[in-house]
């Protein structure tokens, strides 16, 4: 068997094992941007090795037309390095073009090797990205000949620091308590009645008696204001008759009211004497003369008329028939119905206000964070939880592939992997049939001379054929060079396709990325796949791609 044939057989076996280990792909619309640098945007750092806490200067240089608008990155976009200062833009003009230089002061307080991620610069309506850069942060060496050494201090118990999860909960509870208090205070609280409201709740007889008492306390007679005095006096008797005898007593003339009282007496609907009717008629007509004819009776006569009205109110009360049991029951039912309506209005008002506050709060968060983010925060979204969770950075395989992922990749044992002829392969993956995304990392060492040249394009073709053999349809493929932050070069194969869904004959649109690297007789690959229309998976995949580094084979 010649060497080329053994190599092609090896490629097919490797990618068959990878695709067999890949679960179903989940939803995400991933707009891939080219990873090549552009001549008009350049970036650099003044040192690739610093000590803990030492500052490095990160510089971005842009060549643009004088009419172009340039937006440089702001904020903590250089993580894991911390930006401690953002310098003013240095501008120089060269004919019709500007040369813009933007500098940032960065540092790190933990030792280790760190990667400054790509930075996005907006020029006009286009986006450009700088290269990621590697920085080593070294510990400060201590001269033990000058600095004495001491024994390790004993363990001491400390209280575990509590997280701040309770603060948002406290704010929510405080807001709910405030809303509940306002609803109680303005809607459900039994408010103290005003004097007018307390009087309005009294029976008509007691209300009329109280009105006469207040009339006595007035200063109408002392000031000889008989018109005001008789107006109040006649209103009291008319109001009482309106509520208990004739419901149009307030708007009737004196003659109309007296005629109605006589008619009710003749119909035996009220046991009022002829003398009582005559007394009421006399006082009402005298009041008409005072109000309209400017008559001025004696003050003592006015007092007598007041006492007569007081007496006639008692006579009218005695003349009224006692309410029957049926009338009492209807009156009680009416009061209970009014109470139910009042309570119903309170419940409706509470619901309306609560719904309004919820909608207002929801609208505010939607305006600030967007509808999808708020919806996914309330309902829950697996991809969002992965993106915002604690990521893991680790190395996989020998030689290792360094990669950051939302979860630790698990070593996958497969018969297809273990039986690859003339190769030693390790495969690590994350995801199941129902998982939101799938990640695969493999390292294969072919048992052939190191001088053997592995064709990455041939390996990519084998991977795509295996995709098709596993039910993937409508593959759209693009290829470009891929360079990791530590300058390892490889092939990037990416695009869209229709992926099979578990337990279904339907296909779902998805995206995929295949990264292939080779050095000597070692083939390393990273396979990412996900379904379309998931903005969180888009961010997950971009973060994973920006984290990949390879250790060169020695």
List pLDDT tens digits, range 317-329.
Answer: 888 877 667 766 7
Mean pLDDT of 242-249: 88
Q: What average pLDDT is seen over the chain?
A: 79
Predicted local confidence at residue 370, as pLDDT: 73
* DSSP state letter for 124: T
CA angle 86, 88, 89 (to 5 degrees): 115
Name the E strands within 117-209. 120-123, 126-129, 133-138
- Choosing among 3.30.70, 3.30.1580, 1.10.3470, 1.20.120, the CATH entry for 200-322 is 1.20.120
Residues 93-108 have a mean pLDDT of 86
Report, as an integer, the average pLDDT of 111-120.
87
Structure-token pair, residue 177: 């308590």
Q: Which pLDDT belongs to residue 234? A: 92
Q: Is the pLDDT of residue 235 over 90?
A: yes
For the ranges 22-31, 350-359, 459-468, which has the lowest average pLDDT? 22-31
Q: What average pLDDT score do residues 513-540 get? A: 87
Report the distance separating Cα 554 and Cα 387, nearest Å.
35
The span from the CA of 458 to the CA of 502, in Å, is 30
State which fold the 3-33+385-550 domain adopts: Protein Transport Mog1p; Chain A (3.40.1000)
Same fold for the pair 3-33+385-550 and 41-130: no
Q: How far apart (Å, rounded) are the C-alpha atoms in residues 11 and 27?
A: 29
The residue length of the chain stands at: 554
Question: Looking at residue 172, what is its pLDDT?
Answer: 79
Structure tokens at 314: 């008692």
Mean pLDDT, residues 352-380: 76
Answer yes or no: CATH 3.30.519 is held by domain 41-130: no
Examine the pLDDT at 227 and tell me if it is beyond 50.
yes
Predicted confidence (pLDDT) per residue in 35-65, tens digit = 233 347 888 998 888 888 888 999 998 988 8
Instruction: Give per-residue pLDDT as tens, 370-425.
Output: 776 676 666 667 778 888 888 988 888 888 899 999 888 988 875 444 434 456 78
The residue extents of the domains of the chain are 3-33+385-550, 41-130, 200-322, 326-379
Q: What percent of the chain has pLDDT over 70?
A: 80
Q: Is a pLDDT exceeding 60 seen at residue 263?
A: yes
Question: Could you read off the pLDDT of 2-43 as tens digits, one per residue?
Answer: 444 444 444 444 444 444 444 433 322 222 223 233 347 888
Q: Give bridge partners of residue 403 from the DSSP assignment.
A: 394
């Amino acid at each position: 068997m010649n060497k080329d044939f053994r190599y092609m057989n090896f490629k097919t076996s490797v990618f068959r094992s990878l695709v067999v280990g890949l679960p179903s792909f989940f939803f995400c619309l991933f707009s891939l941007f080219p990873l090549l640098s552009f001549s008009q945007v350049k970036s650099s750092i003044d040192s690739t090795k610093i000590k803990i806490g030492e500052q490095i200067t990160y510089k971005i240089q842009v060549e643009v037309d004088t009419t172009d608008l340039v937006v440089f990155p702001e904020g903590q976009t250089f993580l894991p390095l911390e930006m401690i200062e953002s310098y003013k833009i240095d501008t120089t003009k060269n004919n019709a073009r500007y040369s813009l230089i933007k500098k940032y002061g960065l540092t790190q307080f933990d030792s280790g090797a760190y990667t400054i991620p790509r930075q996005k610069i907006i020029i006009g309506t286009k986006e450009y990205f700088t290269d990621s850069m590697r920085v080593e942060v070294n510990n400060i060496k201590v001269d033990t000949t000058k600095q004495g050494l001491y024994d390790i201090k004993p363990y001491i118990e400390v209280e575990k620091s509590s997280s701040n999860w309770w603060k948002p909960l406290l704010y929510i509870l405080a807001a709910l308590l405030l809303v509940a208090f306002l609803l109680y205070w303005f809607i459900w609280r039994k408010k103290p009645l005003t004097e007018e409201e307390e009087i309005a709740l009294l029976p008509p007889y007691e209300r009329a008696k109280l009105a006469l008492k207040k009339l006595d306390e007035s200063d109408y007679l002392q000031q000889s204001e008989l018109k005001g005095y008789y107006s109040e006096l006649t209103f009291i008797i008319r109001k009482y008759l309106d509520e208990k005898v004739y419901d149009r007593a307030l708007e009737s003339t004196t003659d109309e009211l007296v005629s109605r009282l006589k008619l009710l007496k003749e119909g035996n609907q009220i046991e009022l004497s002829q003398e009582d009717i005559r007394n009421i008629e006399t006082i009402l007509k005298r009041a008409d003369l005072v109000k309209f004819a400017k008559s001025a009776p004696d003050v003592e006569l006015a007092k007598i008329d007041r006492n007569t009205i007081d007496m006639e109110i008692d006579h009218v009360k005695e003349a009224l028939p006692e309410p029957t049991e049926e009338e009492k029951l209807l009156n009680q039912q009416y009061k209970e119905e009014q109470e139910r309506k009042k309570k119903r209005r309170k419940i409706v008002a509470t619901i309306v206000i609560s719904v309004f506050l919820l909608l207002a709060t929801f609208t505010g968060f939607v305006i600030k964070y967007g509808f999808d983010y708020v919806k996914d925060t309330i309902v829950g979204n697996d991809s969002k939880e992965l993106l915002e969770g604690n990521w893991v950075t680790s190395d996989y395989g020998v030689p290792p592939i360094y990669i950051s992922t939302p979860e630790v990749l698990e070593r996958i044992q497969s018969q297809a992997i273990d039986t690859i002829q003339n190769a030693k392969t390790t495969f690590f993956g994350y995801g199941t049939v129902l998982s939101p995304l799938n990640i695969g990392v493999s390292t294969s060492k072919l048992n052939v001379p190191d001088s053997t040249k592995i064709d990455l394009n041939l390996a990519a073709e084998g991977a795509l054929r295996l995709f098709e053999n596993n039910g993937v349809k409508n593959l759209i493929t693009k290829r470009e060079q891929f360079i990791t932050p530590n300058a390892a070069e490889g092939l990037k194969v990416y695009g869209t396709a229709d992926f099979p869904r578990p337990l279904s004959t339907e296909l779902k649109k998805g995206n995929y990325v295949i990264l292939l690297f080779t050095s000597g007789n070692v083939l390393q690959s990273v396979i990412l796949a996900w379904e379309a229309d998931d903005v969180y998976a888009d961010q997950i995949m971009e973060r994973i791609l920006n984290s990949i580094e390879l250790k060169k084979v020695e």
